[in-house]
């Protein structure tokens, strides 16, 4: 086996070999040895000819591959293409359209679109503990009509009455503590009214946190936070009271939207937001680390279930 890739060029060569794809996933998914995703037994036999394992315990569906139990499961598209698509999505600074992914890995644009959608699932894997310490909150409008969104996407993204010409996005940034980078989360909100914005703040920020917002009236009354209002008329930053962290995020985001997504349908914007947040929050990682982390998210999808059933610590519960 060659060394794990560090660049896109290396990734193309490395993942062209099915054995490398398998080894890469196995190392992350089963660091203590392959176990059956259905029963958890480690009595498994590798069937090299079929590039799959067979569990020695008697039960239905004893054979499995490294795709089984991941977001790749049941996809006829090879891991080589999946992993290259992922590499590009997590590492292209301004994002990559499904058209570009399609061209790069040799699938139809429609396939690439669905792949991108599944890959995005990995980005939501991090624990969503409330932001604490020093927190910046702000909102912005992004072009695109909510009514053009696919109905299910709209239902997921927007609750309450929406459907204005532009889409309001709430962003919350938790400043880094102890040298850690700051981290952003974004949500689409129906409007900039007090009810919408304050509900978001309360859902994502711990009471007692130092909260910095602009002077928008909607933010008035957030009394359970150490709320301080940024005075944009001031030309200097008043100590900690600023939203410069978020402004950095948005300038990156808007540059990306202009460069890559200028002609894409509105719902693509939301996928783009998730991707951009993922890249921003992991901006200090190398390409190889950022990819590694995303892959762990994908193969770890069943961990949530394990935690729910009280079996946390176990690797993979199907």
Interaction site with Zn ion (CB under 5 A): 36, 38-39, 41, 55, 57
Q: Which is closer to Zn ion, CB of 41 or CB of 240?
A: 41
At closest approach, how far in Å is the CB of 40 from Zn ion?
7
DSSP calls for 83-133: HHHHHHHHH-TT---HHHHHHHHT--HHHHHHHHHHHHHGGG-S--PPB-S
Pairwise CA distance, residues 100 & 88, whole Å: 10
Q: Which is closer to Zn ion, CB of 39 or CB of 252?
A: 39
At closest approach, how far in Å is the CB of 169 from Zn ion?
45
At closest approach, how far in Å is the CB of 18 from Zn ion?
23
Q: Which is closer to Zn ion, CB of 283 or CB of 302?
A: 302
At closest approach, how far in Å is the CB of 39 from Zn ion?
3
Instruction: Give per-residue burial for 106-134: e unless 16+ CB within 10 Å, then b.
Output: ebeeebbbebbebbbebbebeeeeebeeb
Q: Which is closer to Zn ion, CB of 41 or CB of 148?
A: 41
Q: State both tokens at 69.
A: 């139990």
User: Counting Cβ atoms within 10 Å, is residue 64 exposed (0-12), middle (13-18) or buried (19+)?
Assistant: buried
Q: Which is closer to Zn ion, CB of 39 or CB of 216?
A: 39
At closest approach, how far in Å is the CB of 73 from Zn ion?
16
Q: Which is closer to Zn ion, CB of 59 or CB of 254?
A: 59
Pairwise CA distance, residues 96 & 93, whole Å: 8
At closest approach, how far in Å is the CB of 298 from Zn ion?
22
Helix, strand, or coil (residue 290)? helix
């Amino acid at each position: 086996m060659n060394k794990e890739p560090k660049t896109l060029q290396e990734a193309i060569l490395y993942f062209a070999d099915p054995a490398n794809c398998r080894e890469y996933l196995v190392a992350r998914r089963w660091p203590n040895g392959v176990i059956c995703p259905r029963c958890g037994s480690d009595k498994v036999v590798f069937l090299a000819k079929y590039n799959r394992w067979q569990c020695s315990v008697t039960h239905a569906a004893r054979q499995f591959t490294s795709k089984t139990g991941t977001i790749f499961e049941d996809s006829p598209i090879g891991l080589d293409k999946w992993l290259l698509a992922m590499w590009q999505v997590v590492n292209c600074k301004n994002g990559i359209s499904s058209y570009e992914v399609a061209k790069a890995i040799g699938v139809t644009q429609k396939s690439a679109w669905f792949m991108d959608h599944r890959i995005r699932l990995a980005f939501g894997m991090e624990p969503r503990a409330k932001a604490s310490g020093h927190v910046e909150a702000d909102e912005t409008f992004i072009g695109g009509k909510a009514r053009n969104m696919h109905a299910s996407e709209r239902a997921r993204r927007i609750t309450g009455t929406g459907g204005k010409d532009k889409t309001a996005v709430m962003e919350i940034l938790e400043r880094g503590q102890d040298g850690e980078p700051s981290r952003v989360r974004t949500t689409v909100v129906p409007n900039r009214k007090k009810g919408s914005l304050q509900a978001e703040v309360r859902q994502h920020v711990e009471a007692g946190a130092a909260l910095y917002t602009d002077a928008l009236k909607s933010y008035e009354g957030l009394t359970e936070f150490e709320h301080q209002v940024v005075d944009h008329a001031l030309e200097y930053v008043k100590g900690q009271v600023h939203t410069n962290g978020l402004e950095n995020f948005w300038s990156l985001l808007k540059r990306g939207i202009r460069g890559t997504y200028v002609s894409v349908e509105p719902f693509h914007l939301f996928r783009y937001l998730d991707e951009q947040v993922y890249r921003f929050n992991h901006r200090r990682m190398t390409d190889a680390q950022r990819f590694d982390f995303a892959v762990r998210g994908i193969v770890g999808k069943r961990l949530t279930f394990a935690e729910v059933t009280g079996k946390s610590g176990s690797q993979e519960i199907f």
